[in-house]
Structure 1
Amino acid sequence: MVVATSPPVVEVDTSEVRRGYSLDDYRRFEAESLERHEYRDGEVVTMTGGSATHNKIVLAIVSWLLNQLDSKYEVFASDLRLWLPQYNRATYPDVMVVEGEPVFQEQRSDEILNPTLIVEVLSPSTAAYDRGDKFRRYRSIPSFAEYLLVSQQEPYVEQFSRRDEGVWEFRALEGLEGAIGFPRFDVELPVGEIYRRVRFAETA
């Protein structure tokens, strides 16, 4: 098992960026927009649309978590915004799990502060960002303790788990066998459940 303390930071392609937005401007813009956007300390970045496979994986994970987790946990999908006050950033993780009551930013109902588990389903355009710069900023969340990166190109899942202050353990699962252990939730998520509605192309 590899212990990861600071994954490499890789910058995302910022070709779809609007600059010079205040946070209030962003919130008004986002409330009226048909697309979703990240807020990055004055920059508004258009988020890429999800594929059918991406959607199937997210729904499978959300469904499994809702069925398996104790009632003290709340499960949220990608329409709920996550606010990162240390970095003045807002983003939309694919899946979040909150232990106990959700804490919202400034009494809002659309920006959450306290996820324990975050799941991102990777795409070629976001994979480096999700592993690097985004993960580094997610680690500023005091409650954040589990991070899953799920490939949609092949059955492959990366798990980062916080064990001690500043120390994260890394585990990778390849193929449809095996399960992702979450000792803090007292459950194991079978990899096959994540991909149960996904068909991968046959390779020679």
Structure 2
Amino acid sequence: MIVQVAKRHYSPEEYLERETQADFRSEYRNGDIVPMAGGTTNHNEIVTNLCVLKSQLRAKGYRLFTENVRVWVERYRVYTYPDVMVIAGEPVYHGTGTTTVTNPSLIVEVASKSTKNYDQGDKFDYYRSLPSFKEYLLVEQYRWRVMQHLRTENGQWLLTDYEAEDAVVDLATLGLQLPLRDIYAGVDFSLPEEENAPNPEGIV
């Protein structure tokens, strides 16, 4: 006989307490705590390449943050860590600390084989519920491809797919151009597509 064990659900407060003591980052998804996968060298190259925008953005009144700053999505009760996010003006913090924000304008996720469907699906749904959110880039690690979703004036989302090595992403929200060659500088497409396991026990 198989005995069904009830799944443990956590409050946001329990998640935040656990996160301060954890050795790895986890997302919170409406009661579930989901360990995040480890990074790859390609993933890290792309994230650090995007940081070159920081000085240009500062002059325009934007702030850029990477990986260790959380976003709280109230509608879906989700805490998540975007790979890169840009905020117009000053961060609007959630809670009493400075680790969680609620007002990203642009978010970039660097997709892997295991996260691509989630990044394009549920996670994009979460982000779209944020009033400040206007632009989303999904960057693949092992080929030239960037998917850009841009919120139009009538609230619709426009998809533009960039796959050519000489393509240039028009970051309409920021008024900047971003060549794919700059995004993928130092990336080795010949590496096998893999990533470190998040936590051998899976969802905690």
- Secondary structure of the residue aligned to 2:95 is helix
- The structure whose residues are more often strand, as a share, is 1
Aligned length: 184
Instruction: State the superposition RMSD in angstroms.
Output: 1.4
1:130 positional shift: 0.3
Contact 1:158 1:171 in 2 (8 A): yes
Alpha-carbon contact 1:39-1:90 (below 8 Å) kept: yes
1:51 matched to 2:63: no
Is it true that 1:36 corresponds to 2:34 in the alignment? no
Match of 1:68 among 40, 43, 56: 56
Asked whether the equivalents of residues 106 and 173 of structure 2 are also in contact (C-alpha less than 8 Å), the reply is no
User: Unmatched 5+ residue regions in structure 1?
Assistant: 1-17
Give me the whole-angstrom Cα distance separating, in 2, the residues matched to 1:138 and 1:41. Answer: 14
User: Hey, what's the Cα distance between the residues in 2 that align with 1:109 and 1:70?
Assistant: 19
Aligned partner of 1:168 among 149, 157, 162: 157
Render the CA deviation track for 1:85-141: whole Å, top value 9, x for unaligned: 111110001000000010000232111000000000000000000001110111000
Q: How does 1:142-157 map to 2 (within 5 A)?
A: 142-157=131-146
Partner of 2:202: none
Question: CA contact under 8 A between 2:134 and 2:173: conserved in structure 1?
Answer: no
Tell me the CA shift for residue 70 of structure 1.
3.9
Hey, what does 1:196 align to over in structure 2?
185
Structure with max Cα Rg: 2
Letter paired with 1:21: Y
Decide which of 106, 126, 133 is 1:117's aligned counterpart. Answer: 106
SS in 2 for 1:96: strand
Deviation of 1:185 after TM superposition, in Å, equals 1.6
Question: TM-score of the superposition, structure 1-length normalised?
Answer: 0.86
* Pair 1:129 & 2:118 matched: yes
1:81 pairs with one of 43, 64, 70? 70
User: Which amino acid in structure 2 is aligned with residue 23 of structure 1?
Assistant: P
Q: Residue 88 of structure 1 aligns to which amino acid in structure 2?
A: R
Instruction: Give the CA deviation at 1:201.
Output: 2.6
How far apart, CA to CA, are the structure 1 residues paired with 2:8 and 2:103? 27
Decide which moves more: 83-92 or 162-171.
Answer: 162-171
> For 1:94 and 1:157, how far apart are their aligned partners in 2?
14
